[in-house]
Structure 1
């Protein structure tokens, strides 16, 4: 259990009654960082409109600027002017999976060495498959034999490309990273996955959709993705609200028996967070999407959840918190890959919910949760933004929950605590 001091703690507010709030959310992290990559290697200038401004997206901006891409403020977004990618450059990926997996193929297109490193935990996250894949495509990478960060990509200004086989069961980002840069490879790329199922399939659909919107030719079949070499249009990229970041706000409607609306919920999206509509309905919420956005109403009680979350693993921490407060047991499966996320999320959720009096058991591929009366205490967050959000949900119904290091939400939602307390004030 990590050490912490009281001044790093945030007392999670208890709901005084049913919430009744409209919560506008900033842009999708996943869309923002994909749009930045595609804009950086396009044939002409483009814009990223209403992007998420968070640690993860700022790290992506900083990495691209380090390699010579011009990114300027324009209105409420960024104007991206591609240029010749170059090194030497130093890139900090922090703890951002999208940056650490999307940048190396782009760095291979740079003329010169690009050294890539990140937070200590980032050095433990799965990177071997993309390093091996890039080497198979002719890219020189010096990783000291670790198969992990830090490493240096010795960019030659071009990548031959071709066919490559990887095991992407640790993260769909390993595939997306190769696909996003592939139109600039001389032969494009064919990525074939061999291994246990790739998690977070909606994120791969997002990658394919955005590549096609930029003009790339993409073909897919089960566990195979082909991107042809060719031009990428400089264009405007409007960014949708981050639907995964809606989970805790919509969950508050269940916990308090209230109502929460997230405006701007898209009618057609590849974001995994859209699955919240079905998952919260299964727990007893009333869910309606209309002109005002997505509205979730709670009834004052809600049931447990039996669900395979393989494609939407990032929703697990908040769903586990809801399950700990539900009226019956829950079983969340298909999420063994979460052991390799910002922290081992399965172990962290078991440890922290049980420390508050819960009954959570780790399964080979998930969690089994039996609701019990919970009590206050320090909820450690392991530098994981989703753990802060899970703790806030528990705090709605459990007095005395002290959330360690709430600032870690800066990774994807810097204004989280302000949005959270604002939601409760309007209830």
Structure 2
């Protein structure tokens, strides 16, 4: 889609009062799909996310021999796993789009394929770090060829139908996905797989805990410990793997923009089926939004967030929940005091360099932002509408929509990039505001 295509974000004209049902979790859907593809028998996922990223994951796993079926009139997905006797052999090519879970999870699984598997992706994917994936595969005895800049796509994994186990060390400072990918595929290794993290920091630890939880649900023994040197170590035991029927939780991170709307417009937004206990980082919104001035309550299976339009700045360590940063930053720019969002250096390797991109776009609106290597300071000022670039990043797009609730004439570039994880974001947003498409929108 051409970058000049913009969507004028609607301004909230009154309080909101809506029950929102967000689709299934992107992170959980990706993990369930991969495990279902290597399970001992068929799996039924109820309520999985149907978005560009999840479709790319299905296409990738389909190249390796998994099969997918949607029963008529159902929101479920039935997965028939890869079977060694019927799996395709020979060379394959997988396009990862801009999906981090596909580009980091599937190459390890490709070692189990009998043939060469080439991985490429969207132009923006070719600059995302892949070095730890490549290093881990080579440490496990899997041959990998790099075709471009070292440590990046495109690469070819020379699958030989097996993934040796053993003990390896890895630096996952740039992304927790570099740990999760090994743990997931380790369920089908020849021997127990032990992974030791040697980096200076470990971002998004909840996502690794999520991986351990889905492995446990599948009957795989996976444990986490901290060794005598203070290093995190994970061990996965190969063995039987069965999922059966799985209900996918709603995506709590994708609920964030709607919760933010209650704080900006006033009123209440309720999110249906908010889990009582979860490993999703989005559950941290309950604490963060409370600190910023929201009233957060639980009513049965629903989470209610109410606001008055007053928003307070926040000094917060977001290292474990970095994906929430764009939403928190969008609120911070409308707050009554400065904010400092810390521990987010790993966001520089996401769909875009989110720290730099946020700093640039918030400055364009009129805020004073100070960009540090690992954090972002936001000093609110009177804002003026402008073209808000999204850099092919779905969370940058929703951040622009959030700010546009209060600031007129915020023109979000390529709002359809939200289809990566939230297929009908625009429709849900307009429905929340009880409005038609805003004047001036172009596609």
TM-score of the alignment, normalized to the shorter chain, above 0.5: yes
Cα shift at 1:298: 0.3
One of 23, 26, 29 as aligned partner of 1:26: 23
User: Are 2:350 and 1:346 equivalent residues in the alignment?
Assistant: no
Cα shift at 1:188: 2.6
What is the alpha-carbon distance in structure 2 between the residues aligned to residue 224 and residue 153 of structure 1?
25
Q: Is the 8 A contact 1:21 1:261 kept in 2?
A: yes
**2:146 match:** 143
Cα shift at 1:126: 1.3
One of 65, 71, 76 as aligned partner of 2:62: 65
RMSD: 1.4
User: Are 2:175 and 1:176 equivalent residues in the alignment?
Assistant: no
Cα shift at 1:364: 2.3
Cα shift at 1:299: 2.2
**Superposition TM-score, scaled by structure 2 size:** 0.94
What is the alpha-carbon distance in structure 1 between the residues aligned to residue 17 and residue 432 of structure 2?
8
Residue pairs, 1:235-384, within 5 angstroms: 235-384=244-393
**1:4 match:** 3
Q: Is the 8 A contact 2:327 2:395 kept in 1?
A: yes
1:272-321 per-residue CA deviation (whole Å, 9 max, x = no partner) reads 00000000000010001221410000023121011000011111011101
Cα shift at 1:234: 3.8
Q: Is the 8 A contact 2:217 2:243 kept in 1?
A: no
Structure 2 residue matching 1:397: 3-state secondary structure:
coil
User: Are 2:175 and 1:166 equivalent residues in the alignment?
Assistant: no
**1:393 match:** 402
What is the alpha-carbon distance in structure 2 between the residues aligned to residue 29 and residue 3 of structure 1?
26
User: Are 2:224 and 1:220 equivalent residues in the alignment?
Assistant: yes
What is the alpha-carbon distance in structure 2 between the residues aligned to residue 246 and residue 271 of structure 1?
12
Structure 1 residue matching 2:340: 3-state secondary structure:
strand
Cα shift at 1:39: 0.4
Which ranges in structure 1 are unaligned for 5 or more consecutive residues? none
**1:119 match:** 122
Count, aligned residues:
424
**2:80 match:** 81
Deviates more, 1:142-151 or 1:200-209: 142-151
Q: Is the 8 A contact 1:286 1:297 kept in 2?
A: yes
Deviates more, 1:75-84 or 1:303-312: 75-84
**1:45 match:** 42
What is the alpha-carbon distance in structure 2 between the residues aligned to residue 314 and residue 201 of structure 1?
12
What is the alpha-carbon distance in structure 1 between the residues aligned to residue 46 and residue 118 of structure 2?
29
Q: Is the 8 A contact 1:138 1:161 kept in 2?
A: no
What is the alpha-carbon distance in structure 2 between the residues aligned to residue 47 and residue 226 of structure 1?
27
Cα shift at 1:203: 0.4
User: Are 2:423 and 1:419 equivalent residues in the alignment?
Assistant: no
Which ranges in structure 2 are unaligned for 5 or more consecutive residues? 227-231, 436-443
Cα shift at 1:19: 1.1
What is the alpha-carbon distance in structure 2 between the residues aligned to residue 371 and residue 133 of structure 1?
43
Cα shift at 1:71: 1.1
Q: Is the 8 A contact 1:378 1:402 kept in 2?
A: yes
What is the alpha-carbon distance in structure 2 between the residues aligned to residue 141 and residue 239 of structure 1?
34
1:88-115 per-residue CA deviation (whole Å, 9 max, x = no partner) reads 2111111111111110111111111111
Deviates more, 1:228-237 or 1:28-37: 228-237
Q: Is the 8 A contact 2:275 2:301 kept in 1?
A: no
Structure 2 residue matching 1:108: 3-state secondary structure:
helix
Q: Is the 8 A contact 1:254 1:302 kept in 2?
A: yes
